[in-house]
Chains A and B, each alone.
Chain A
Amino acid sequence: MKPSPPALSASRQTAFTRRWTSWAFAGVALLATAFGVAALILLLFVVMRDGIGGLSWDFLTSFPSRKPELAGAKAAIMGTLWVMSFTALFSIPIGVGAAIYLEEFAPKSWFTRLIEMNISTLAGVPSVVYGLLGLAVFVFGMNLGPSIIAAAATLTLLILPIIIVAAREGLRSVPYSMREAAMALGATRWQAVWHQVLPAGMPAVLTGVILAMGRAIGETAPLIAIGAFTSVFFTPTSPTDSFTVLPIQIFSWISRPLRGFQENASAGIVVLLIVLLLLNSVAVALRHVYARRRRW
């Protein structure tokens, strides 16, 4: 009797199936990737389709209006500028300072570890919850009302963990030998940090700061939570004024049924995305400069 070759044929079939599943899987994985990219393109397309038409000089320089064709984003743009300036003013010194302390000076103790754990936990808290915090502490607790300063303080809390983490990474990328060299020449620890480490790590630190600012510009929920959902028909003149920002203005246009307001919303989104794009390009450019200048 001839020995039957089932083992061989089975393994051949397996080889065929194996090759087939491998190709099929590669196809599915590629499709999934393409889906993500297609979603991005579609999203940008949908926004641009209506947005570009609505975008004009009048749109940028008019106040909100009950008639969609007259409404503009001036108050929102100015509000965003005001809020972001104060957010930068609060968050950069505090964030970079905290990073310098934690990275260069803090002893390795349970207290430092507790702070570090706290910071990474804070990064996962939803932004509305920061809004509630701002509502209780800044708006009512300190009696600031839904003002620019309360908004900036709330956003500062929100982006501090991001800035601290990014700035620490930037400082950590500066080799330890630079600190040692400075101190060997008689510099104090602080002088070594201030004159050597910080300038060397600056581009990386700044990149983190800019990305954090980008996050803050797009935030809507925490500002609505502190009570900033109002129609504003003036440009703010002091940090205690009430305000509106671009994302809130966009949201308020979205929630109106009239067709024209939807177009305003898309135009507002285009403005917001352009601002974000500019910020991101600055961050990318910085990263380039940083990579080229790096001497270690």
Chain B
Amino acid sequence: MGIVAVLLIEAIPFFGDVSVISFLTGTKWAPLFADKSFGALPLLSATALIAGMALAVAFPLGLLTAIYLSEYAPDVVRSTVKPALEVLAGIPTVVYGFFAISFISPNIVRPLFDSETIFTALAASLAMGIMLIPMVVSLSEDAMRSVPSALREGAYALGANRFQVSVRVVVPAALSGIVAAGLLALARAVGETMIVTIAAGGVPNLSANPLEAMQAMTAYIMEVAMGDTPRGTVEYRSIFAIGMLLFVFTLGLNLVARGFIAKFREVYE
């Protein structure tokens, strides 16, 4: 609750200087130039592009892993892979940022796509995708394991094989839990800071080309915080306005996800 109050108190004066409409629809973000301009679209689009691509990497891989672990894997495999993925989840995000810039960018993105700079949205989203995999796996595996085994046995009794049981019975039955896993991972990606700050470059750039450098919302907050911006200036307030947007997005995603989980629980518990 306090968070909302603080963000509002610091962000509202900002909207006295910059109108809400020009903030949300402006296409030029140049807060540090003499001719200031606060259109958040370049930051918003960068965040959306990077988080979307990260989810496009993590969600299919995570879901397949979860299906494998929950429906196919022998106990030995599950009891080694799950802790390994938990380790992946416990690695600080600076480390992923370092991985993006020192490995993914020079060894994968540049040779494959011939990008001009090492700071690309693509490298950031690949690293972020790896970071999100454990989260998708553990949430959707939990959902699949709580599908009653009577459903599986019923399907086997009707002659279904493992693939049919997994894809046509277990996944649909666990669907709302799986959707929630995706939404929570997306919320995490939107709020992720260090990877985009390190690997995506720091240029506000309204573009859909993942091979360009761009600045996500969180990376802008970092940029201002690393400089010496005095309190009460428009720049200082602008990070609270951006923070406010971040908060609203992640809160919305979390609430929707929670709705899905509640619906899922209702059916089987």
Contact = CB atoms under 8 A, between A and B. Distances in A.
B95 to A, nearest CB: 5
Contact of A229 (B2, B225, B255): B225
A284 B155 CA distance: 38
Interface string B60-71: 111011011100
A135 interface: yes
Contacts of A272: 92, 95
A29 B84 contact: no
B98 A269 contact: yes
B203 interface: no
A171 to B, nearest CB: 22
Contacts of B1: 118
B239 A132 contact: yes
Contact of B69 (A33, A39, A40, A42): A33
A42 to B, nearest CB: 7
A285 to B, nearest CB: 14
Given A30-B68, A32-B65, A273-B91, A254 B254 contact: no
A43 B250 contact: no
Contacts of B18: none
Contacts of B65: 29, 32-33, 36
A29 B67 contact: yes
Contact of B92 (A21, A22, A218, A262): A218
B156 interface: no
A18 B101 CA distance: 43
Contacts of B225: 131, 135, 224-227, 229
Given A129-B3, A133-B2, A251-B198, A269 B95 contact: yes
Contact of B99 (A43, A126, A247): A43
Chain B, interface SS category: helix
A124 B250 contact: yes
B151 interface: no
Nearest to B227: A229
B88 A40 contact: yes
Given A129-B247, A218-B94, A29 B64 contact: yes
A102 interface: no
B161 A32 contact: no
B12 interface: no
A125 interface: yes
B56 to A, nearest CB: 14
A36 B193 contact: no
A21 B91 CA distance: 36
B102 A128 contact: no
B222 interface: yes
19 contacts: A31-B64, A32-B64, A36-B62, A36-B130, A39-B133, A40-B84, A125-B250, A129-B191, A129-B246, A132-B239, A135-B225, A214-B90, A220-B94, A225-B222, A225-B225, A250-B94, A266-B102, A272-B95, A276-B92
Top 7 closest pairs, chain A to chain B, by CB: A126-B191, A218-B92, A32-B64, A22-B163, A29-B68, A221-B193, A124-B254
Interface of B: 1-3, 6-7, 9-10, 60-62, 64-65, 67-69, 72-73, 81, 84-85, 87-88, 90-99, 101-103, 130, 133-134, 137, 161-164, 166-167, 184, 187-188, 190-194, 197-198, 218, 221-222, 225-226, 231, 239-240, 243, 246-247, 250-251, 253-255, 258
Given A43-B96, A221-B193, A254-B94, 7 more contacts: A28-B64, A33-B73, A37-B85, A46-B99, A124-B187, A132-B10, A225-B225
